[in-house]
Structure 1
Amino acid sequence: MGEAIGNHVRGRSEGGAYDALEGQALADALQADARSIVDDRHMRVRFDAAHTNEPEGPAPGVVPGGAMPLEELRAQAAKVVTSKVLDSGLGYLKVDEFIVPEASGEVFAAALTVVREARALAIDLRSCRGGSDDAVAYLLSFLLDNPPQLVSTVVWRSGDVKKTMTRDVGTAAYGGTRPVFVLTSSRTFSGGEEFAYDVQAFKRGMIVGEVTGGGAHPTGAKFLGLGFIATVPMGRTVNPITGSNWETVGVQPDKVVAADDALATVETLVAKQVGGSNP
């Protein structure tokens, strides 16, 4: 696949397709041409003038320049994870990004404590664009009994294997029996999709909303020189139950509705299944 992309891009270059382009416009053209050969939605090219002097080679993390300090990640986690109990009695947890458990663990525990007594729980991933697979497994720990359980395996191109497991989260656990609903949209991507896919595979909840974006491959960043950075898929995610993943096809909802209608749909379902408000 890499050779096919390279041949196509070289041919386009020799034909003058990029001669009038620079900066992000050139990055966009390279990305579009690469994806015309291999439709991997994690494959990206971007331009960042701050890195014009970086030598070519691996970048220290998907974010050029390396990972954020832990204190900043904790502050970010507090912004992207929120929870409350709705007037209907439904517990509501919104996750816009899965940040590494070292930064998000306490945030998830506090958020789940807020909804711990709710008879049913809706987890809103409609705006979630991805994040850490370890954080995905950590959140699943609140919903699955009998930790540790294998959640996923990443098989890297190098042949190395990474396994993610659930953990014992103690009294903060929501438990493995009460109804859980995961809200999705076409914007739900990567780690957000993994959480929905795993909930579905473990038969731990119902997915309500739209088919997700279809990106299952973990990545690494490469400096290309002159400020251009490529995000390159470097492995594949394997669910232990399905033996597969959601690459290109997305997560298929159990109940397909427009994303904007997903929460109201869940409230209606909960009213029918468990009735009323919390005591």
Structure 2
Amino acid sequence: MHSDEIRTIVDRLAALVSEHYVFPDVGREIADRLTKAAAEGRYDVLTDPEQLSVQVTTDLQIGNQDKHLRLKFHHGEVPDETDPVEEENYWATRAHLDAGGMARVERLPGNIGLLEIKPLLYDPSHAGAALIAAMSLLSATDALILDLRGCLGGSPDQVALVCSHLFDGEPVHLNDLVTPATGTVRQFWTSHVPGPRFGGTKPIWVLTSGSTFSGGEELTYDLQQLGRAKVVGERTGGGAHPRQGFKLHSHLEATVPLHRALNPVSGTNWEGTGITPDLEVPATDAYDIAYREAVDHVLALPATPERLPLLDEARASLVG
């Protein structure tokens, strides 16, 4: 990369932030700072795209610490958001190779369900079928461990689809996305799902780490605020401003937050603070603790003839 190309990238990034950033006044301040730095030649020596991404991201986040606001380096080719076919193919391929984000689906001893979602909550158009299949398999379990320790973000529509399997009855209001520049609000609610649901009464444990971020945090926060799950693990990363990607170079993507999450229960979100678990423990210990609590729940269920083998499974798992 040469200096003219670098300045073109930074100027384009500044224009995008000024136009789209979730807080318009802050966006204009950031844009002015970047434009001035580029004009002064601050970035001219950073001819490696990855080095440029690190320095510019640091400058973008001065004073706001918005982890969604980045100049992101990709080892592979960045999809072009202005080419719907290319972008669709990119995300469809990623979701396919990641099994729709359903990293682990298992019935644990004692009839306890485990669903691990990583690296992303892919959009339902690419991963809805995988999620519905996973939740259908786990619908008859007596407790659920939802492992989001490696979930780095994703689609709020997929968050709503997950939650739709975890409640009963009337639609439940989960979250709003507010666009301050226009005052528009998009609401997210639970909805009807095909096949059986896990339902709204059996216990859920959500596992988190410091890497749980964005869409993974929204799923955690929605369930926690509604009193539907117990969160076990580490405080999460603290990113509540959904972003849009813009291709600036074959390996550089501008990620600019456009919206602000607004939870209908708390009236706020987790931006900058992360989500505090109900039981704060190292992420490496979260699974064992949650599973033990889930086993205790199963052992307290009525010992019907049909359940006796499951109770024996649960007891044996603790001995092992």
TM bucket (normalised to shorter chain) is 0.7 to 0.9
**How high is the TM-score relative to the length of structure 2?**
0.77
CA distance in 2, matches of 1:4, 1:69: 33
Count residues with an aligned counterpart: 273
Q: Is the 8 A contact 2:233 2:277 kept in 1?
A: yes
Give the C-alpha shift of residue 45 in structure 1: 0.4
- 1:2-151 matches, within 5 Å, as 2-22=27-47, 23-47=49-73, 59-60=81-82, 66-68=87-89, 72=93, 75-76=96-97, 78-81=99-102, 82-96=104-118, 97-151=120-174
CA distance in 1, matches of 2:57, 2:92: 33
CA distance in 2, matches of 1:64, 1:214: 32
Q: Is the 8 A contact 2:117 2:151 kept in 1?
A: yes
* Cα RMSD (Å): 2.7
What SS does the aligned partner of 2:254 have?
strand
Name the residue aligned to 1:237.
261
Gap change, CA 1:64 and 1:28, over 3 Å in 2: farther
Gap change, CA 1:118 and 1:227, over 3 Å in 2: closer
Give the C-alpha shift of residue 8 in structure 1: 2.9
More helix by share: 2
The range that moved more, 170-179 or 128-137, is 170-179
The range that moved more, 124-133 or 83-92, is 83-92
Q: Is the 8 A contact 2:178 2:184 kept in 1?
A: yes
Matching of residue 278 in structure 1 with residue 310 in structure 2: yes
Give the C-alpha shift of residue 230 in structure 1: 1.2
Matching of residue 176 in structure 1 with residue 208 in structure 2: no
What SS does the aligned partner of 1:107 have?
helix
Give the C-alpha shift of residue 169 in structure 1: 1.7
CA distance in 1, matches of 2:245, 2:291: 41
Give the C-alpha shift of residue 131 in structure 1: 0.6
What letter matches 1:243 in structure 2?
G
Gap change, CA 1:221 and 1:181, over 3 Å in 2: same
Unaligned 5+ runs, structure 2: 1-25, 301-308, 312-320
Give the C-alpha shift of residue 165 in structure 1: 1.8
What letter matches 1:67 in structure 2?
E
What letter matches 2:52 in structure 1?
L
Name the residue aligned to 2:238.
214
CA distance in 2, matches of 1:70, 1:172: 28
What letter matches 2:168 in structure 1?
D
The one of the two structures with greater contact order (alpha-carbon pairs below 8 A, sep at least 6) is 1
Residues 75-98 of structure 1: CA distance to partner in whole angstroms, max 9, x if unpaired?
246252131111243210111121
Percent identity over the alignment is 33
CA distance in 2, matches of 1:105, 1:99: 8
**How high is the TM-score relative to the length of structure 1?**
0.87
What SS does the aligned partner of 1:3 have?
helix
What letter matches 2:223 in structure 1?
V
CA distance in 2, matches of 1:271, 1:245: 32
Unaligned 5+ runs, structure 1: none
Give the C-alpha shift of residue 116 in structure 1: 1.9
What letter matches 1:240 in structure 2?
P
CA distance in 2, matches of 1:69, 1:31: 24
